Each structure stands twice: as C-alpha cells, then as structure tokens.
Structure 1
Amino acid sequence: MNNIDIKSYLMKQIPLDKLYIKGDNNHIKITAIGKIFHGMNNIQKQQVIYKPLTKYIIEKKIHAISINTFTLEEWNKKNINK
C-alpha cells in the first residue's frame, strides 16, 4: 500500500481537513488535521486514524506508523509559531 492509497483511503473513511503522509511501507508518518478531533485527548485522536488502518497492519501491508493529529485550531497555532 503506497502513500497515495493510504491518503485516499483515510480521506474516504474520516472527515479530515488536511492529511499528510510521508515515508514508505516500513514506516509511515501520518499528520492529520480536522474538526473531528475537537474535544478528544491524544490517544483518542490517534485511535481515529489507527482503527481503519488496522487490517492493513495485520496483513503486513503497512509495517509501522506514527501519527500526529491536530484540530484546525491546534494546527493553525502550531504553524503561526514557526
């Protein structure tokens, strides 16, 4: 499963505003931004992204992932401070 496939799949499964995928099948880095994360803690946010990918991890189509999640407000604040 390549990065384009992962991005397309996640965008269909989760209402995200922005999604960035980097890496290769051995290690995927996901940065997800969306209103869906409002009111969630970090674990809950990561579970939203991890859950639809579970079958691909079990099938070894994805080896490892790291997930960063942000609400729109968190993302905008992070990028203003750069």
Structure 2
Amino acid sequence: METVQLIDKILKEKLSAQHVGIIDDSDKHRGHKAAGGGGHFTVTVVSECFRNVNIIDKCRLVYSALDEQINGQPKLIHALQIKTFTPDEWQSSTANTTR
C-alpha cells in the first residue's frame, strides 16, 4: 500500500475522520540531508473528535495515530504539516473559499 493511502486509511480508522486530504510534499525536499528516510506530507483531517480540543492536543491526536509510520522502521513519514477541523469548522472554511 502506498504511504498516502496508508495515512488516509489510518486517520479515517483511528480518528473517525469524515475527510482526509493528503499532499505528498516529498519532491520539494529531495536531497534534504536530515530526512533520513520517510516522506514529507501535509494532512488535512476533519473529525468530530476535534470538537472542544485545543490545537496542540489535536496535533497530538494525529501524531499518535501515525506514530508507527513516523517512528517505526521503515520510517514512512519524516515531516508532517497538520491542519485539523471539526465538521462545522470545515463547512465554514470551505463555504468561505467557494465563490
């Protein structure tokens, strides 16, 4: 299974995410000495589990869900940019960008 599909599957299962968007930014970091394996990804996660949770704890939930891919061998994720939304926040966010 490709890393992007694996990330999608894990976040949907572990966080009951209604929407997961993943951008593989690895090409922007080719030759990055400190990478040590693993890709660079931006994830957008929409889940009810984020309701009434502060931003730091939202990120912790995502990191915890992906711990094996971040810290395991082989290391599949080197860098992760995280954007989290509740379904209401996501709906407001997408309504503001749709014209």
- Give the TM-score normalised by structure 1: 0.89
Instruction: Give, as a single letter, the amino acid of the residue that structure 1 aligns with 2:42.
Output: K
2:5 is matched with 4
Aligned Cα root-mean-square deviation (Å): 1.4
Q: Which runs of 5+ in 1 are unaligned?
A: none
Q: Which runs of 5+ in 2 are unaligned?
A: 27-37
SS of equivalent to 1:76: helix
2:49 is matched with 36
Deviations 1:17-46 (A, max 9, x none): 111111144211100001111001111111
Higher gyration radius (CA): 2
- Give the TM-score normalised by structure 2: 0.75
Distance 2:56 2:48 in 1: 16
Distance 1:2 1:56 in 2: 9
Structure 1 residue runs of 4+, over 3 Å off? none
**Aligned positions, number:** 82
Q: What is the percentage of aligned positions where both structures have the same residue?
A: 28
